[in-house]
Structure 1
């Protein structure tokens, strides 16, 4: 069985520089996704180099991610979109006329795949609470996102860096009282970072309002939700220890107002889109009034 057509692998196919290949070369076929978690790949051997520079590949293995298949590599045929390695080995499927810009030498592709896996692991650890996500770890993630040409992931890493730096804990857990000291400035900085991405902010707001599923495939959305919930949790802990927000040691009312205002800056993409039909100034005034009355504001 042979299939014709270009490799179409779901949400996103990485554009690769054209390379020279020979018959018999083992090659790596990226099947990547924007959220990294759904990355997959295929590998195989080049069986023929065509006059137009494309190659035919006999597949050896396919590691499918949730968002990617080999659908579209040939004329429509049931069963080719999701194939298990055992099936491939038995049927020795061949895909034809694959541009060399869609494949990599096996060793180079494997290294790239592992780098993406490592980056994904760092991000997921931060989203899960950030245990031992130190500035050095995030510096490595920043390098990886840059070298892998993942600017949106790089933006998320920068958010994580700002959050970790703001706590003063060098990447390890600190009490809410300590973490909140730098949160107002951090939230303002993150709000400026996400300003060019209003849809991500709106999607995060929908998750917080429980009008959308609890998780998004967009890691930038996940990052915004994480920061919003983290700040809420820290403020709640502070409130549990201090019934009157006017009498919190180390946090005068204006400092608390600044934290809440930073939260609303984040959820309005730096005051460029409304949150719950209102702008930052409205929420800042409401928060100031509530704290002045000796009550803790709610989000």
Structure 2
């Protein structure tokens, strides 16, 4: 629906309205702004570029988010979409290849996990797969595979940044089930400090996921290798492998392998 008040407005007025919308919802899409204002997507992208140059927002894949404040270290799901995109797709495809028909699989939250969900759906030969997730985005990606897949959502308290479900209640399900394989996301993988995460509530759920699976695989794009964050998830000895990308630095990768971790670089 076109907002006729702004359809023929000067660029400065339209950009002010974009910032108002962004402040209200946290993320705006180019396609939706174009339809709402009745202007081309090229015009909207020009508006977003100008607002990014002035420090008012940050461009991400498909749209924009509010400019990060100095105190915010965790990116929103939408903000992370554009980061290391090709690498995350490669990681996801390799991870999906490890799943067999009849497997039960835990899939964590995050953009790489969302890419994994899409890769699993695209494997049309997969059937009778049970996927347990605490990610709303992940569950929606997997919906297209019903009824080949059974999708179980943990429940819990919703976190806005990652659209994830955390405690209370998010980890209680893992006391009652066992999975063949768990794919866990993180913000850091370090040979000495282990697997770490920025957000403490999510780190707690990740620990329970690892404890509920026979095979435990960490998905981490190259920017996370060698990084250390606040919430300890596991020692490297407590996971069976990490799948990472080509941007991972050689030294921390070598240290992980020396520590006995099975590292796959795709």
Q: TM-score, normalised by structure 1?
A: 0.24
User: Whose helix fraction is larger, Structure 1's or Structure 2's?
Assistant: 1
Q: TM-score, normalised by structure 2?
A: 0.26
In our comparison, the structure showing a higher alpha carbon Rg is 1
User: Whose strand fraction is larger, Structure 1's or Structure 2's?
Assistant: 2
